[in-house]
Amino acid sequence: MREIVFDTETTGLDNNLDRVIEIGCVELDNRFPTGRFLHHYINAQGRSVHPEAQAVHGISDADLADKPVFGAVLQEFLEFIDGAKLVAHNANFDIGFINAEFDRLGVPPVEPSLVVDTLAIARRKHPMGPNSLDALCRRYGIDNSRRTKHGALLDAELLAEVYIELIGGKQAALGLEISGGGDNAGESALAASVALSARPTPLPPRISEEERAAHEALVEKLGEKSLWHNLRA
């Protein structure tokens, strides 16, 4: 499964008026980085970089004067993302700008079903936050010391590491295989993994008797057809 983790920098916050001025993408295959990436600075075609945006990413109008326009890198970008899911942090912002650039060039917008928002995932997994990219790097022990300012490629590289941690990709990508195992090889591998991971002494319960009683009372109210009732049985 191909996924493209990407980030953009822009002249401002209004995708109807402002323009994409930097795009950075890194490729994941089955949740592992392949080493392939795409990176471009892009001429804003007369739209000046807002001072507040420049304070965030450090890109000036002068930096972009000799860079290609979005249309000049469009085909390369489309080929790079073809057939892949697009992963971004606060994806509505980045996809909104990408789709605005696409619209100006007569290209269909990115299908919402292809977009993965890591901010939404982080908010579900860590509802108490904070869930900025910097905060998630700190949470997962990812070195972001180079990130003195935002940069599309660096942020995409950091986000790829964060994304893998958020979805447990390092563990999910591992597989067990017994060579020449025949029909029961998969079952044997599963049994072996369970045997190896079993604790010699069970951990003590983490809920109180009062909490257990309250849960039992709730399950009784749900009735015999409820999922919780069946699990208890």
- Within 10 Å of residue 97's Cβ, how many Cβ atoms? 22
Output the CA–CA distances (angstroms, integers) from residue 56 to 1, 17, 18, 128, 134, in the order listed.
33, 19, 15, 25, 14
Amino acid found at 83? G
Burial of 146 (0-12, 13-18, 19+ CB in 10 A): exposed
> CA-CA distance, 148 to 175, in Å (whole number)?
38
Burial of 159 (0-12, 13-18, 19+ CB in 10 A): buried
Q: Which of 40, 57, 150, 229 is catalytic?
A: 150
The DSSP-derived string for 103-128 is HHTTPPPPPGGGEEEHHHHHHHH-TT
Count each helix (H run) and each strand (E run) in the chain, helices first: 11, 5
Whether 150 sits among the annotated catalytic residues: the reply is: yes
The pair phi, psi for residue 200, each rounded to 5°, is: -65, -30
DSSP secondary structure code for residue 94 in this structure? H
Residues involved in catalysis: 150
